[in-house]
Amino acid sequence: METLSKYNTVRLPLHSESEFVKWLEEFNELSYTTWRVKRTYPPPSDRQFVKVLLKKEYRCQHDTRPESALTNSKRRVATKNTSCKADMAVTIRNVKTKSKSADILLEKFPTTLRIRFSHNHRIMCADALKYRDVSKETIHTLCELFKRRPTAAVEMVKQELLLKHGENYPVIAANRALCPDIPFAHRLYTKMFKELYGDTSDVKMMSVLESHCQQYNEEMESTCMVLKIVNNKPIIAVCTPLMKRTHETIKHAGEMVFMDASSNMDRNNCSVLYF
């Protein structure tokens, strides 16, 4: 448990919100803590010259709204809430406005951070580390590994960490920033899938399928993929260039039909038939 129960004021050479966001990311990483926005003060819009560019309050992520007593009484729910009182307030002043203030640090250190680093829980323990945000580097690694399935990607990340950290692996594996959980990987995978292949809702999916057919035919410089609606169900027929060549060069290929069917291929319960 940390003992810095009083507020400490720090001046920082940060001139904008984007600089502060970057600083906060590094602070989270180095301190093994995660800070969430508690309150935002909107800048006054009726003033010609804004003196304060940003004013925000942050709380430790372990200070959340506790689960209701009714919910907890029926099942044992792991919660990250410890009603932690660690908090901080940041104010970034605008150095361009002429101020009568005698603040000699204003020009070089326009950001004032008032922080109370008094966590009521341990920071470097598995029970706290498992709630950390997954780091950007880990997200990048996962995206690369999504050429496999999300669960396999997480296993690959774990294998890499095991090889890299050896005996220290159990401590590293408890840190969610480095070792993400499978539900997170699935959410990220779904988000990536949506960005790459479009929405899977009925109307939007059809337009995405049509554009993919068109794109594939253009790339193959031949009509290899056709989309048709039969009984209100979309059917896509694909005949790859290799299949076409087989039909053209092997006479008996047109006289025999092999069929292999599989269903439940994805969340839309699509079927794949090989002829």
Report the C-alpha gap between 65 and 210 in whole angstroms. Answer: 46
Binders of Zn ion among 81-120, rule CB under 5 A?
A: 84, 86, 119
7 vs 275 by CB, closer to Zn ion: 7
Binders of Zn ion among 222-241, rule CB under 5 A?
A: none
Shortest Å, Cβ 166 to Zn ion: 30
Range in contact with Zn ion (rule: CB under 5 A) among 39-47, 78-86, 100-108, 150-158: 78-86
Per-residue HEC secondary structure of 188-212 comes to: HHHHHHHHHHCCCCHHHHHHHHHHH
86 vs 89 by CB, closer to Zn ion: 86
132 binds Zn ion (CB under 5 A): no
131 vs 146 by CB, closer to Zn ion: 131
Range in contact with Zn ion (rule: CB under 5 A) among 59-67, 158-166, 175-183, 193-201: 59-67
Shortest Å, Cβ 107 to Zn ion: 34
62 binds Zn ion (CB under 5 A): yes
123 vs 208 by CB, closer to Zn ion: 123
Least Cα distance to 130 among 172, 72, 162, 185 occurs for 172
Shortest Å, Cβ 114 to Zn ion: 16
Shortest Å, Cβ 32 to Zn ion: 11
Q: Concatenate the DSSP letters of all residues of the chain into one string.
A: -----S-EEEEE---SHHHHHHHHHHHHHHHT--EEEEEE-PPPSS-SS-SEEEEEEEEETT--PPPPHHHHHHS-----------EEEEEEE-TTS------TTTTT--EEEEEE---SS-SSSHHHHTTSPPPHHHHHHHHHHTTS-HHHHHHHHHHHHHHHHGGGHHHHHT-TTTS--HHHHHHHHHHHHHHHH---SHHHHHHHHHHHHHHHHHHHTS--EEEEEETTEEEEEE--HHHHHHHHH-GGGGT----EEE---STT---EEE-
Shortest Å, Cβ 62 to Zn ion: 4
Range in contact with Zn ion (rule: CB under 5 A) among 52-60, 149-157, 247-255, 259-267: 52-60
Shortest Å, Cβ 38 to Zn ion: 12
128 binds Zn ion (CB under 5 A): no
Identify the residue among 14, 24, 60, 177 touching Zn ion (CB under 5 A): 60
C-alpha dihedral, 270 to 273 to 274 to 275, nearest 10°: -150
Range in contact with Zn ion (rule: CB under 5 A) among 58-66, 160-168, 194-202, 209-217: 58-66
Size of the site for Zn ion (CB under 5 A): 5
Residues that bind Zn ion (CB under 5 A): 60, 62, 84, 86, 119
